[in-house]
Structures are given as structure tokens and as C-alpha cells.
Amino acid sequence: MTPSSVLTLHYSLFTVFHMSELSELYQQVILDHNKKPRNFRKLETANHSAEGFNPLCGDQLTVYLNLEDGAVKEISFEGSGCAISKAAASMMTQAVKGKSKQEAEQLFKEFHGMVTGELDEETTSNGLGNLKIFSGVREFPVRVKCASLPWHTMHAALNNQEIVSTE
Ligand code: ZN
């Protein structure tokens, strides 16, 4: 990564979160996943896939998954977008891999509820775990779409919808 792209990344994160709104640790996790996204590749064995677009920010990705016996055996993504969308996609693939379709759909509901403010992740039992670092985006409506796009796209892939848009 060139020094100027590091600067741009820090600048874009700074405009999303003020230091008091997202701890430095959480920023580090998001920066790390943006820089080294997990499961970032085309999945040759995929039997489901979907494309997602967020025209407001320019995020776009394809989610590939291999669903076998009702479970997500493998999942990956490709695409480009802001740090939030890329980190959210990376962490989504880690969270969903190995889960049953129902568990993946439940996690989608919980994540969506958290970032839209419909679910209080601190008082309602949920399986979000480290995905809670994205709770801060609910203060920023534009960023809610960045964080939820990978989840909408995963949901679409599970349900054989091919293209989703947040608009
Ligand atoms: Zn974005």
C-alpha cells in the first residue's frame, strides 16, 4: 500500500467515525480486514452467487457460496468499495462459513437490526460476537448501507436472487 493510499484510508475512516464514537481497537480491526480481506477470491465450487451494489458510496461486490446439505460449506467475495464495506464483507464471510442456512439468515437479521438501530445488541441475546464493532455505523445512515451491503448480498445468494441494490 502506498503512503498516499494509507492517508486516504485514514482520512476516509476519520470522516466516518470520530475517535470517541469508535474505539481505536475497533478501527484497527476494520483497517486490518480492509487491508487483508479474508476469503477474498472467486469460489470455483460456488453453487450460489449474487452481486451487490451500493450506488450511494460506489461499493460493489460478488458473494460466492457453496451450499451443501443446507449449510454454507464455503463462502468468498470479490469486489471493490470503501473500507467499511470491504471489512464488513470480510468479517461476514468468516461469520457465516460453516453455518446452516437458517443460522446465516438469523445472523443477517441480527446484523441488519443492529446497524439500523432496531436491535440493541447489548440487551438482546444474539450471535453477533465481534461483528458488534459495526454498531457505530448506525449513527451514519450512508455508512449503514456500506456495512449491510455484503449481508444483503449473502442473503440474496442464499435465496437465488442474482442482483441486489441498496437503492
Ligand atoms: Zn461504502
Structural domain count, the chain = 1
CATH of the domain at 83: 3.90.1010.10
Distance 69 CA to ligand 1 centre (A): 33
Q: What is the rounded CA–CA span in Å between residue 165 and residue 114? A: 20
Residues ≥6 apart with Cβ < 8 Å to 21: 136, 139
Of 92, 154, 159, nearest in space to 128 by CA: 92
- Total Cβ atoms within 10 A of residue 70: 9
What is the pTM assigned to this prediction?
0.85
Q: Which domain holds residue 84?
A: 3-165
Nearest to 85 by CA among 119, 127, 124, 40: 40
Confidence (pLDDT) at 65: 97
Distance from Cα 43 to the centre of ligand 1, integer Å:
23
Distance 11 CA to ligand 1 centre (A): 14
Grid coordinates in use for 81? 468499495
Angle between helices 3-16 and 83-96 (to 10 degrees): 80
Q: How far apart are the CA of 143 and the centre of ligand 1, in A?
A: 6
State the sign of the Cα–Cα–Cα–Cα dihedral 29, 83, 137, 119.
Answer: negative
Contact between 97 and 75 under an 8 Å Cβ cutoff? The reply is yes
Helices (H), the chain: 3-16, 24-35, 83-96, 101-116, 141-158
Give me the phi and psi of 163, to 5 degrees please.
-135, 130
Task: Per residue of the chain (167 residues), give pLDDT as tens.
Answer: 455 555 455 545 555 555 445 567 778 899 999 999 999 999 999 999 999 999 999 999 999 999 999 999 999 999 999 999 999 999 999 999 999 999 999 999 999 999 999 999 989 999 999 999 999 888 888 899 999 999 999 999 999 887 788 87
